[in-house]
A and B are shown apart, each in its own frame.
Chain A
Amino acid sequence: MTQINRLTGGLIDHSKPLNFSFDGKSYQGYAGDTLASALLANGVRLMGRSFKYHRPRGPLTAGSEEPNAIVELRTGARQEPNTRATTAELFDELIATSQNRWPSLQFDAMAINDRFSNFLTAGFYYKTFMWPAAFWEKVYEPIIRKAAGLGSLSMQDDPDAYDKGFLHCDLLIIGAGPAGLASALTAGRAGANVILADEDYACGGRLNAETFTLDDTDASVWIAATLAELASLPNVRVMTRTTVIGAFDHGIYGAVERVSDHLAIPAPDKPRQILWRIYTKRTVLCAGAIERPIAFENNDRPGIMLASAIRSYANRWAATPAREVAIFTNNDDGHRTAADLTAKGVAISAIIDTRANAPGSTQVEVLAGAQVVNSLGRLGVKQLTVQLADGSMRHVHCEALGVSGGWNPNVHISSHQRGRPEWNTKIAAFIPGKNGPDGLSAAGAAMGVFSTAGALESGMNSTISALQDIGISTKPIKLPKAEDVPVNLQPFWHVKAGKGRAWLDQQNDVTVKDVKLAHRENFRAVEHLKRYTTLGMATDQGKTSNMGGLAIMAELAGKSIPEVGTTIFRPPYTPVAMGALGGRAVGKNFHPTRKTPSHKWAEEQGAVFVEVGNWLRAQWFPKAGETHWRQSVDREVIATRKSVGICDVTTLGKIDVQGADAATYLNRIYCNGFAKLAVGKTRYGLMLREDGIVMDDGTAARLAEGHFVVTTTTANAVSVYRHMEFCRQCLWPDLDVQLISTTESWAQYAVAGPNARKLLQKIVDPEFDISNEAFPFMGCGAITICGGLRARLFRISFSGELAFEIAVPTRYGDALMRRMMDAGKEFDVVPYGTEALGVMRIEKGHATGNELNGTATALNLGMGRMVSKAKDSIGSTLSERTGLNEPDALMQVGLKPVDPSEPVVAGSHLMNKTGDVNAKTDQGYITSAAYSPTLGSSIGLGFLKDGGNRKGEIIRAVNPLKNQEVLLEVVSMHFFDPEGERLRA
């Protein structure tokens, strides 16, 4: 197909044709085109269907503020919904598809919504889908979900990489139009560290879309010279295709650089996009201005666009939406479009100017004091109904209409810190207010300075004063001579004639009628208006529509626009891909994996691993012929209890506590006593939060008078360390005590079972006596092993067996594991994983994370008497609160099924043997459960009301999720070896 609406000139490369397709049809465009400009050049005006009414729509704008021309790009895993055709750079073989239509863009069955528009006005959700309540989930929501939404997802993993980056600068300049370039040149020459960012792929801003001259030559000459000088300055970084998305605290800005969006596939080793965090000292907002439309009946037909957009397409992209264009304006700028189009050979059917004193023209007919009251044309505008100054009607033929209602400074980023824009009567628009982000000033059109000369000067001056603030002295630069035409505008927001719908927010399908309805129903505050009508709540945040809505509300309320006020914008400036926010932190990289030193050895044994926080821990070690995990776990438990087993416990938190006051300090951290713990001894410690709830438990081993090694649970290693530093620095800053986390410095193994000592005696150097007499239960000490390697030995037991924990510097962990397995062969040693560890600790009634669940007190755990009343410790006072000490407080108990073949399920609630099952009759819950191969039955631990006094009682465990009820007997939580004879052996 030929490019019937392609003009000459522009900034595209007519020698580089590119093939692309839209809705399966092939077209050709040129390098430098956007998808929208290429489609317009090919005579395609219809690019999408609207969100609610499925009205046919074409592009309204030529930039990122676009509400209508939203399409799907690419296919397969790179398929990308909801992309603005007006900013999508064309590349060869680009495949684009329209969205939100069925079966086709030309004939959309859902356009039936348009016929029912009376029912779909503002607030229709709240009015229509109220009743019956049961219909919401089953009927209404699925229908709405199907009807709503625009593009579709590929449902495949994104094949591209996204990066995050960090930059620092003295001055960030947002926007590389005339103001931004003047700013960059001023700051760059002064030697300031400058970042100039623009969302466009070409610098120049509005200059690229105009026919202005600078110093009497084409503006592109000055732009090129300026960019060349900026490129030569090492202190200036120019970032194109980079959208500054938000202003955050303390001068931090977010920006998305679209490194590869303009390519079919990113270059090797290049990311698709980069999310930058930019730390700035000062920022100049040179984001320009956005033209605003005038609302009139059926003003949303394809071909009806902003006048400046039509001018951009003609001047920059050498494309026009049609060969015959009309202009509807309330200001002089609309006439510019007519003049530029005429120069390009596009016919102007008429300029319809709302002003009675509209400037005349020798080339085209100007209808002064006239208004467009309606448009006609099924899938695009064909004719306008115009009301002339004398009230008579006239038809004007055109295939595109350029509308200009004036310009709104792009204040968006200035209000990201809740800064309120201020009304400027001269331009009848809001400009950035004084309470914007600290360090940010606005210049050029963004500040309401609309002429090119004004923009250049304002860019320079803002920069000089911004740099002065941070002590960088700057000289004025010589600015090129430029046009300096004043703004000449008569505010005109919407045409009152006409009964049909006049569109304000085209992305969310909000009409003038909706605003009137909101006013009638008393949603008059701007924030209410916004939410009730959804005006400005689409992804474009109402960049082209908010002002119109506010003006109409002001009119209805009989107030001025500044009295009515304005809603403000929030980050991001334009939508940001989730991939960019995620960066490299996807899949397995979402959180780091921590492996213990013997991980490789465990892999060699075929271990099955489980994630514990970031750690991978061996869960069990299957042997040949074992088909079910329980077989492996039962075998590991039995073998350990019978002879000896080894478990990697490296992941437990380890904190080295040193100093003359170390014992005093620990005595306050733990609720039980530590002041008198002898050197060479280890003690179980229970740590409370200040509110009296258990925080964590572990052991503290006193290796020397002023040296302890504290262990924490794996899960709480970080938070316990943080808490201990808080206590040290904030509560008792003068205690002589120092802390350091040594979790990763030591590999640690539990060696448990009747033959544990015999095995270790083959490892520990002979000068260290580890007999029961010399190294009794709860002993500890520094030793050497394997002929001189330093190690630590703790005689502590989680399994209930004769057990030791042995620690060596991390780099020897793998070797020690292999050496111990070798030495243990004669005792049939087994490695055991976290499951067997869990079974054995439940058999012993030891608490772990399941019991230390953030609601349990020492009393609940059956350790109430451990809380020493002879000293101060964290949590001791508040643990005495009445509410935590009720007579029927939950107490940890052991639970055993009456019928040993029945399971005990963790999470089940405990109920009396008979009676109702409900929250009122609830007696507690099961925290941990396992099959005990030692006892040949399922067993569990749980919290039971008044559990200490209910041994022998039969109760019910109910699991409503699975409709289970099991009779349990309340027993001692010490199922196995309650006297602890084995661990003292």
Chain B
Amino acid sequence: MIINHPILGPRDAAEFTYLGDVSLLNRPDWQAIDAAEQFYEYQYLRENPAGEHRELWYHEQGDRSWLVVTRNTLTHAISKVEMASDAARARGNGK
């Protein structure tokens, strides 16, 4: 597979480490009343779509960027690659 790194251009997937579903960006608020339940879901529950999947890849053999890759799990076609930090900010992760 080839991942089109937003900064570095197309790179072989062998340079990357896979983590998993992008929902790992949605770390719950530890002070929420149902924090235990939310963290349980955050840690263990994942969609397993047959089709488009947004997922986290780490450019370990490269610039050490975390990326959000949109990959079709049926065809491995990659339709979008973003910096994970941008995706994190876009969903409200900040300080």
B2 x A250 contact (CB < 8 A): yes
Residues A733 and B89 in contact in the complex (CB < 8 Å), given A725-B58, A726-B58, A877-B35: yes
Known contacts A725-B66, A729-B85, A729-B88; A661 and B95 CB within 8 A of each other: yes
Q: Across the interface, which residues of A come within 8 angstroms of B75, CB to CB? A: 417, 438
Q: Is B45 an interface residue (CB 8 A)?
A: no
A279–B39 Cα distance when bound, in Å, is 42
Closest CB-CB distance, A881 to chain B, in whole Å? 7
What's the count of A-B pairs with C-beta under 8 Å? 82
Interface string of B7-32 (1 = CB under 8 A from A): 00000010001010000110110110
Check A732 against B30 for contact (C-beta < 8 Å).
no
Cβ–Cβ contact A690 & B39, under 8 A: yes
In contact, A730 and B56 (Cβ under 8 angstroms)? yes
Please determine whether B85 and A730 come into contact, CB atoms closer than 8 angstroms: yes
Residue pair A732, B43 in contact (C-beta under 8 Å): no
Chain A, residue nearest B1 (CB): A249
Expressed in whole angstroms, the minimum distance between the Cβ of B89 and any Cβ of chain A is 5
Contact status B84-A729, CB under 8 Å? yes
With a cutoff of 8 Å between Cβ atoms, the chain A residues found around residue B19 in the complex are 726
- Check A730 against B66 for contact (C-beta < 8 Å): yes
Q: Tell me if A730 and B39 are in contact (CB < 8 A).
A: no
Q: B36 to A732, Cβ gap below 8 A?
A: no
Interface size bracket, A side: 20 to 34
When the two chains form their complex, are residues A731 and B58 in contact, meaning their CB atoms are under 8 A apart?
Answer: no
Asked whether A469 is an interface residue with its Cβ less than 8 Å from the other chain, the reply is: no
| B2 / chain A contacts, CB cutoff of 8 Å | 249-252, 279
Q: Is the CB of B66 within 8 A of A729?
A: yes
Q: Could you tell me the distance in whole angstroms from the C-beta of B30 to the nearest C-beta in chain A?
A: 4
Known A729-B65, A731-B25, A733-B89; judge A877-B36 contact (CB<8 A).
yes
Enumerate chain A residues within 8 angstroms of B24, measured Cβ to Cβ: 726, 730
Q: Name the one of A690, A730, A878 contacting B84, with C-beta atoms under 8 angstroms.
A: A730
Report the nearest B residue to A718, measured CB to CB. B60
A722-B60, A725-B66 as given contacts; A730 in contact with B77, CB under 8 Å: no
Partner of A733, one of B35, B42, B85: B85
A730→B22 CA distance, assembly (Å): 10
Q: Are B1 and A732 in contact (CB under 8 A)?
A: no
- Chain A residue contacts of B49, Cβ below 8 A: none
Which residues of A are found within 8 Å of B28, using beta-carbon distances? 877
Contacting residue for A732 out of B56, B66, B95, CB 8 A: B95
B93 adjacent to A691 (CB under 8 Å): no
Given contacts A691-B43, A722-B17, contact A438 B94 (CB under 8 A): no
Which residues of chain A are within 8 angstroms of B27 by Cβ–Cβ distance?
A: 690, 731
Complex: A877 Cα to B58 Cα, angstroms:
26
Q: What CA separation (Å) do A690 and B41 show in the bound complex?
A: 12
State how many angstroms separate the Cβ of B24 from the closest Cβ of chain A. Answer: 7
Closest chain-A Cβ to B91's Cβ sits at a distance in Å of: 10
Nearest B-chain residue to A665, judged by Cβ:
B95
B43 and A878 contacting across the interface, CB-CB below 8 Å: yes
Residue A872 is within 8 A (CB to CB) of chain B in the complex: yes
CB distance from A239 to the nearest CB of B (A): 21
A690 lies within 8 A of B93 (CB) = no
Contacts of B85 in A (CB 8 A): 729-730, 733
Query: How many residues of B sit at the interface, in one of the four size bands?
Result: 35 or more
Q: Mark out the residues of chain A between 679 and 737 whose CB falls within 8 Å of any chain B CB in the assembled complex.
A: 690-691, 718, 722, 725-726, 729-735
Residue on B nearest A882 in the bound complex, by CB: B36
Which residues of the other chain, B, contact A880 by a CB distance below 8 angstroms? 36
**A568 CB to nearest chain B CB (Å):** 16
Nearest neighbor of B17 in chain A, beta-carbon distance: A722
Q: Mark B35-70, 1 if CB is under 8 A from A, else 0.
A: 110011011000000000000101010001110000
Docked complex Cα distance between A731 and B2 (Å): 26
Determine whether A507 belongs to the interface, using a CB cutoff of 8 Å to chain B: no
Q: Is B76 a contact of A250 with CB atoms below 8 Å?
A: yes
Chain B residue with Cβ nearest A739? B64
A731 to B88, CA, bound (A): 7
Given A876-B30, A877-B30: A730 touches B17 (CB 8 Å cut-off) = no
Q: Mark A236-249, 1 if CB is under 8 A from B, else 0.
A: 00000000000011
Separation of A253 and B27 alpha carbons in the complex (Å): 39
Contacts of A661 in B (CB 8 A): 95
Most buried by B among A248, A872, A877: A877
Report Cα–Cα, A729/B89, bound state, in Å.
9
Identify the interface centre among A250, A664, A729: most chain B CB within 10 Å of its CB: A729
Query: B11 to chain A: closest CB distance in Å?
Result: 11
Q: Is the CB of B39 within 8 A of A735?
A: no
Q: Which residues of A are found within 8 Å of B42, using beta-carbon distances?
A: 690
Complex-state Cα separation, A800 to B83, whole angstroms: 45
Chain B residues within 8 Å of A250, by CB:
1-2, 76, 78
- In the bound complex, residues from chain B placing their C-beta under 8 Å from that of A691 are 43
Contact B35 A726 (CB under 8 A): no
| Chain B residues positioned under 8 Å from A251 (CB to CB) | 2
CB pair A734–B95 under 8 Å, yes or no, is yes
A917 to chain B, nearest CB (A): 35
What 0/1 readout, one digit per residue, does chain A (850-877) give for beta carbons within 8 Å of chain B?
0000000000000000000000100011
Closest to B42 in A: A690
Contact status of A722 and B58, CB under 8 A, knowing A250-B1, A729-B84:
yes
* Distance between Cα atoms of A735 and B30 in the complex (Å): 18
Cβ–Cβ < 8 Å partners of A279 in chain B: 2
B93 touches A733 (CB 8 A): yes
| Partner among B31, B66, B76, B95 whose Cβ is within 8 Å of the Cβ of A735 | B95
Q: Shortest Cβ distance from B25 into chain A, in angstroms?
A: 5
State the CA gap A570–B83 with chains docked (Å). 35
Per-residue contact bits, chain A 420-435, to B (CB 8 Å; 1 contact, 0 not): 0000000000000000
Check B89–A249 contact: CB distance below 8 A.
Answer: no
Residues of chain A contacted by B64 (CB below 8 angstroms): 725
Binary CB contact string for chain A from 247 to 266 against chain B (1 if under 8 A, 0 otherwise):
01111100000000000000
Q: How far is the CA of A729 from the CA of B77 in the complex (A)?
A: 25
Does A730 lie within 8 Å of B43, measured CB to CB?
no
Chain A's closest residue to B60 (CB) is A722
- B93 contacts A730, CB within 8 Å? yes
Tell me whether A690 and B88 are in contact (CB under 8 A).
no
Report if A878-B40 is in contact (Cβ < 8 Å); known contacts: A729-B66, A731-B88, A733-B85: yes
Chain A residue, CB-CB nearest to B59: A725
Across-interface contacts of A729 in B (CB, < 8 A): 65-66, 83-85, 88
Q: Which residues of A contact B1 (CB under 8 A)?
A: 248-250, 252
Instruction: Write out the residue numbers on chain A whose beta carbons fall within 8 Å of the beta carbon of B40.
Output: 878, 881
Q: Which residues of A contact B35 (CB under 8 A)?
A: 877
* A881 and B64 alpha carbons, distance in the complex (Å): 33
Q: Is the CB of A732 within 8 A of B76?
A: no
Q: Is the CB of B88 within 8 A of A733?
A: yes
Query: What is the bound-complex CA distance between A599 and B45, given in angstroms?
Result: 47
Of all chain B residues, the one with the shortest Cβ separation from A721 is: B64
Among B1, B27, B42, B60, the one with the most A-chain Cβ atoms within 10 Å of its Cβ is: B27
Question: Across the interface, do B66 and A726 meet the contact criterion of CB distance under 8 Å?
Answer: yes
Query: Using a CB-CB cutoff of 8 Å, which residues 727-755 of chain A contact chain B?
Result: 729-735
Residues of A within 8 A of B (CB): 248-252, 279, 417, 438, 661, 664, 690-691, 718, 722, 725-726, 729-735, 872, 876-878, 880-881
What would 27 A/B residue contacts be, using CB atoms closer than 8 Å?
A: A249-B1, A249-B2, A279-B2, A438-B75, A438-B77, A690-B27, A725-B58, A725-B66, A726-B56, A729-B66, A729-B83, A729-B88, A730-B84, A730-B88, A730-B93, A731-B25, A733-B85, A733-B88, A733-B89, A733-B93, A735-B95, A872-B30, A877-B35, A877-B36, A878-B43, A880-B36, A881-B36
Closest 6 CB pairs of A and B: A733-B85, A872-B30, A734-B94, A250-B2, A249-B1, A249-B76
Known: A438-B75, A730-B93. 17 other contacts (CB 8 A): A250-B78, A251-B2, A417-B75, A438-B77, A690-B39, A725-B58, A726-B66, A729-B66, A730-B24, A730-B85, A731-B88, A735-B95, A878-B36, A878-B39, A878-B40, A878-B43, A881-B40
Interfacial residues, chain B to chain A (CB-CB below 8 A): 1-2, 13, 17, 19, 24-25, 27-28, 30-31, 35-36, 39-40, 42-43, 56, 58, 60, 64-66, 75-78, 83-86, 88-89, 93-95
